[in-house]
Amino acid sequence: MNECRKQILTMRDNLKLLREESQLTLEDLSAKTGICQEILVAMEGDKNFGIEYLLRLCQYYRIDPSMIFHPFTIKM
């Protein structure tokens, strides 16, 4: 697996981790960010989506977009 693919998979895992650690359902996150649930499912899964949605989620979670591509753990 190439490095770019690894980073994309890490990003998807991190997005799901952020949502779950924030105790948000996809419906909750959709309401808070204005991103439809179908896009959120695509972002956490293996589908394409626009970069503007990634930036919007990073803004919501108050994280630097570059950090989403590196593994992390969250303690809330």
Residue 33 and residue 73: Cα distance in Å, rounded? 22
Q: Which residues contact 57 (CB under 8 A, 6 or more apart)?
A: 15, 18, 33, 35, 43
pLDDT in tens, 27-62: 999 999 999 999 999 999 989 899 999 999 999 999
What is the pLDDT, as a whole number, of residue 72?
A: 80
CA gap 76, 74 in Å, rounded: 6
- Please check the confidence at residue 76 and state whether its pLDDT lies above 60: no
* CATH of 3-66 given 1.10.260.40, 1.10.10.10, 2.40.50.140, 3.30.450.20: 1.10.260.40
Look up residue 32 and give its two tokens: 């808070």
**Token pair 């909750």 is at which residue?**
28
